[in-house]
Structure 1
């Protein structure tokens, strides 16, 4: 089991939430002003998209490091199209910018490796079971 994540409502804010993970700095979530929030932090959909982008970046970096390839950095841009989310379709368009890698074969391999990040697999291949209980 992993350390639990706690989400705590901020009393002075309508929908702003403080997210705590033991031993780490707190992060925050909110909703846009258009739906009644302050728009002061990423919303839950943003965190979903962030999870994919950061996982792809880390996966690519780890692979390049192991291969001793000259990757100097990576920029992952995730663009969401949630226009059909209510119909069960949530599209994420991901662009990778590889810094320091000019070899076409290495670039292609790193793109391929990015598809193997654990979060993409979780989002596309796993069955996620959620149990919610009142305490």
Structure 2
């Protein structure tokens, strides 16, 4: 099965700090100091929010380009929380600086809602785990 890959390796610094490698691009992930981390990188849920935000922005840009819709800068903010039932809730706010009219805005909103990460989160996933 082909797909995207990410690998994490603990750095040995702090309780949670890890190096993340995503196809040759590396960065640190960590937890905030309030929970025992060093605060040197995004935590798991921040990375998940970043995935949804970037996928949303890229999908809007792709759709706009494909349909010759002029769009200025795209700003997406995603926040994660748990509701009272313990379900994950992602609040996504999209700011489009320059779009011609309501029909185009509606089309871009539909595109955003259909971004691949949105679909993955909404549909759920299968996670296969192997301990070596």
Q: TM-score, normalised by structure 1?
A: 0.88
**Counterpart in the other structure of 1:52:** 52
**Counterpart in the other structure of 2:12:** 11
Distance 1:38 1:117 in 2: 33
Further displaced range: 72-81 or 112-121: 72-81
1:2/1:8 CA distance change after superposition, 3 Å: same
1:12-91 pair list within 5 angstroms? 12-22=13-23, 24-82=24-82, 84=84, 87-91=85-89
What SS is found at the alignment partner of 2:25? coil
Q: Which runs of 4+ in 1 moved over 4 A?
A: none
What SS is found at the alignment partner of 2:117? helix
Distance 2:4 2:113 in 1: 27
1:114-125 pair list within 5 angstroms? 114-125=112-123
**Counterpart in the other structure of 1:131:** 128
Unaligned runs of 5+ in 1: none
Structure 1 position 3, deviation (Å):
5.1
